[in-house]
Structure 1
Amino acid sequence: MACSAGCAHVVLVPTPVGGHCIPFFYLASRFAHLGLRVTFLVAEGLVPQLYTHKLFTPHVGLIQREGIEVLSVKDGFSHLGFGPGLMAVFREASEPQLVAGFSEGMATLMSSTKVPAPCCIVSDMLMGWTQIMAAKFNIPRFVLHTQSAANLSLMLHVPTLLSEGRLPLTETNQEKPVEIPGFQVPLPTSELPSDLHPNAMLPNAYETFLRISRRAAEAPIVLVNTFRELEDNVFDALDGLHQNSATPKPKVIPVGPLLPSAAFSTHGDATTVNGTSEELDESIMRFLDSQPRKSVLFITFGTAGILQGEQHIQEIALGLEASGQPFLWTQGPSLMDPNKPTLSQLVPPGLKLITPHSHHMRYRPLHFKVLSEIETSLRHVLISRPDRRVTPEVYMVN
């Protein structure tokens, strides 16, 4: 649906890594189909990545076909290169510079006589500083959370955990599990996101996580890349908090799955969707359909996932094999380090792999598969805990 002269204008600010940015493409397409005008604000040094990197090229054509504008803005960090520049975006000290640079782009849109002034900003959960920019232009900032609703519930609960003295984690408070809205059993502190632990790998990870969580709680609406049927208990809890909390809580709306329509098609020849062929997708589905309900571990460390070298990969692979638990392990191409070894190069010799080039190979009777060099549509980790003596529940873990 074409945007009319008086249509609403939405500005999107994604985090420019695969699992965060790609859902924004499909959200933008949905907005465009509703007759909205959509503009992306992206740091100038990262704009070329959208059109050239193999993570994005299967998807970016969508916004090109819709006529969605990508406006390049100066953030002052692009000259550092992708990895260091991205890390700089998350530092609190960088926020004034980010707000200033992106505000120039917003001011251009606000003063334009050719397009309607933006009515709101929809930004990635990680881009919490856009709340400052939205207030500067007196428009609301909404959030798109690209992970699970369970993860969102945990993040929105962080201020409560702080007030209750459950954070930061210490030797005295980490023994007692934490209760998270929508989780039917308490969560051991060992399963909290790694950024909340004292030994977090990234510098300032704890402070960054707290800042992002607080900013998310300030948004009137949070869109989540999931659907209610998958996480019904969590949505019921979040709905209750929005309606009944003494302090304002965001209204949480499921908008997922934000996937290409071809991902739901059962017709036609094998084509590439999200970097995987339909033939490979079908083999994955056959494997999943053959397993008991809530029994398969889904393992991914995301676009910027960090594992400390070959030894950790091998330990995980051997541990999974020894567990006898069916699992699905995916590792896509790395934006942080394109030269990073692939999963198939790191797992121990002798472990059978199911890859895009050899998906006909046998796998061990333990029913494990390692899917290497592909990026699946699922971007959050859903894991059922086989060691619990209660009905398995679905959790998000970093």
Structure 2
Amino acid sequence: MASQGTSSPKIHVLAFPVPGQGHITPMMHLCKKIAARDGFIVSFVNVDSLHDEMIKHWRAPSNTDLRLVSIPLSWKIPHGLDAYTLTHSGEFFKATTEMIPALEHLVSKLSLEISPVRCIISDYFFFWTQDVADKFGIPRIVLWPGSAAWTTIEYHIPELIAGGHVFPSLTEAKKLVADESIVDIIKGLGPLHQADVPLYLQADDHLWAEYSVQRVPYIRKASCVLVNSFYDLEPEASDFMAAELRKGISPSVPCFSWTSRPPRSDQPTWCSGTRTPSACGGLTSRKRLPFSTYLSTYLHIYISSVLYISTYLYISNI
């Protein structure tokens, strides 16, 4: 509930990961850090069948306001994404778009029962949550659960389709190029063999291909992009994506550092339209928007001590 008296009300953040282990885990780590800060409430959304299993074992971290909530999904996945779901990705993710009305209802319900939802943090693959955020006039923050290299590959899906590297059903030849072919059109990433292109992008699944093409431009609409990596590990991919997204990212939103130290002056941050360290370490941009004031004050998060090695972190030796 909102604080009583003269104290400021808590900021209510709604988090919505893709219901898979590799997506839920980084989102939960992030939410625990947010909820551990004074002045924040976090509602963690799961699809109903997974939520029903998760609450059996759930113990909220002490001294935090982190709660589990659910919305209905026609697919029943009590243990998260399984083999069947992954081999029918197009059908599954198309079904997730049917949750839009339920998510809108949940935002309204939580806003009335707890406090107004002020921000949605959602998985990149749930691009349609941007439309929900826009409807309520609140920012959406994208969480990439993988590496910066992964983001560059996803960002180049239109070019990869044109080159015959992904989604055979959408290519002119209706098939992919040979495995030994070199893919050298991904900016921010060195050349790689066709065989190294992520298999989920090579699937001959027309529904999945359409969903994938649809999600790419939505990253530009987000207020902030968080990546499960850090700059020194992937400088080229990070620099490219920072340059690409800078015009689409508001410089008034707060910074989330990838390391245990403030960013260097030459270290770009995806969630700020500036390279100056004062915009991150000094939080000088927080006065521009009321929401940014809250987040800049309370959510200057530093992730340390844990190194995630992503499946899609490429080290090219071609």
Match of 1:313 in 2: none
What amino acid is aligned across from residue 74 of structure 1 in structure 2?
Answer: P
Q: Hey, what's the Cα distance between the residues in 2 that align with 1:173 and 1:39?
A: 45
Correspondent of 1:189 among 191, 194, 197: 194
TM-score by length of structure 2 reads 0.66
* Structural mapping, 1:33-44, within 5 Å: 33-35=36-38, 36-44=40-48
Q: Which runs of 5+ in 2 are unaligned?
A: 261-305
* Alignment deviations for residues 206-244 of structure 1 (CA, whole Å, 9 cap, x no partner): 33332333333432321111111211222122222234x
- 8 Å CA contact 2:94–2:211 kept in 1: the answer is no
CA 1:100–1:77: 2 relative to 1, 3 Å? farther
User: Does 1:237 find its partner at 2:236?
Assistant: no
Q: Which runs of 5+ in 1 are unaligned?
A: 259-375, 390-398
Match of 1:137 in 2: 136
- 8 Å CA contact 2:22–2:145 kept in 1: the answer is yes
Q: Hey, what's the Cα distance between the residues in 1 that align with 2:116 and 2:77?
A: 30
CA 1:227–1:88: 2 relative to 1, 3 Å? closer
- 8 Å CA contact 2:228–2:308 kept in 1: the answer is no
Match of 1:329 in 2: none
Match of 1:216 in 2: 219
User: Does 1:15 find its partner at 2:13?
Assistant: no
Match of 1:50 in 2: 54
What amino acid is aligned across from residue 66 of structure 2 in structure 1?
Answer: I
Match of 1:366 in 2: none
* Structural mapping, 1:202-351, within 5 Å: 204-243=207-246, 248=248, 256=258
* Alpha-carbon shift at residue 122 of structure 1 (Å): 0.5
Q: Which fold has the larger relative contact order, with Cα–Cα distance below 8 Å and residues 6 or more apart in sequence?
A: 2
CA 1:127–1:70: 2 relative to 1, 3 Å? same
Which one is further off, 202-211 or 32-41? 202-211
Give the secondary structure class of the aligned counterpart of 1:15. Answer: coil
Q: Hey, what's the Cα distance between the residues in 2 that align with 1:129 and 1:64?
A: 33
Give the secondary structure class of the aligned counterpart of 1:226. Answer: coil
- 8 Å CA contact 1:13–1:123 kept in 2: the answer is yes
- 8 Å CA contact 1:146–1:225 kept in 2: the answer is yes
What amino acid is aligned across from residue 191 of structure 2 in structure 1?
Answer: P
Give the secondary structure class of the aligned counterpart of 1:78. Answer: coil
Which one is further off, 131-140 or 119-128? 131-140
* Structural mapping, 1:108-123, within 5 Å: 108-112=109-113, 115-123=114-122
Give the secondary structure class of the aligned counterpart of 2:69. Answer: strand
Match of 1:271 in 2: none
* Alpha-carbon shift at residue 10 of structure 1 (Å): 1.0
Q: Hey, what's the Cα distance between the residues in 2 that align with 1:153 and 1:27?
A: 22
Match of 2:100 in 1: 99
- 8 Å CA contact 1:125–1:216 kept in 2: the answer is yes
- 8 Å CA contact 1:29–1:62 kept in 2: the answer is no
CA 1:94–1:217: 2 relative to 1, 3 Å? same
Q: Hey, what's the Cα distance between the residues in 2 that align with 1:240 and 1:143?
A: 17
* Alpha-carbon shift at residue 46 of structure 1 (Å): 1.1
Q: Hey, what's the Cα distance between the residues in 1 that align with 2:90 and 2:137?
A: 23
* Alpha-carbon shift at residue 20 of structure 1 (Å): 0.8
Give the secondary structure class of the aligned counterpart of 1:127. Answer: coil
Aligned residues: 255
* Alignment deviations for residues 45-66 of structure 1 (CA, whole Å, 9 cap, x no partner): 11133245xxxx6xx5454652
Give the secondary structure class of the aligned counterpart of 2:13. Answer: strand
Match of 1:285 in 2: none
Match of 1:71 in 2: 69
Identity %: 22
What amino acid is aligned across from residue 157 of structure 2 in structure 1?
Answer: V
Which one is further off, 83-92 or 60-69? 83-92
- 8 Å CA contact 1:5–1:116 kept in 2: the answer is no
* Alignment deviations for residues 10-69 of structure 1 (CA, whole Å, 9 cap, x no partner): 1100122211111111111221233322111222211133245xxxx6xx5454652311
What amino acid is aligned across from residue 145 of structure 1 in structure 2?
Answer: W
CA 1:377–1:202: 2 relative to 1, 3 Å? farther
Match of 1:340 in 2: none
CA 1:239–1:204: 2 relative to 1, 3 Å? same
Give the secondary structure class of the aligned counterpart of 1:46. Answer: helix
TM-score by length of structure 1 reads 0.54
CA 1:101–1:90: 2 relative to 1, 3 Å? farther
- 8 Å CA contact 2:42–2:67 kept in 1: the answer is yes
Q: Hey, what's the Cα distance between the residues in 1 that align with 2:89 and 2:99?
A: 10
Match of 1:380 in 2: 310
- 8 Å CA contact 2:50–2:77 kept in 1: the answer is no
* Structural mapping, 1:150-161, within 5 Å: 150-161=149-160
Please identify the structure whose Cα radius of gyration is greater. Answer: 1
* Alpha-carbon shift at residue 121 of structure 1 (Å): 0.6
* Alpha-carbon shift at residue 91 of structure 1 (Å): 3.9
Q: Hey, what's the Cα distance between the residues in 2 that align with 1:63 and 1:88?
A: 33
* Alignment deviations for residues 279-338 of structure 1 (CA, whole Å, 9 cap, x no partner): xxxxxxxxxxxxxxxxxxxxxxxxxxxxxxxxxxxxxxxxxxxxxxxxxxxxxxxxxxxx
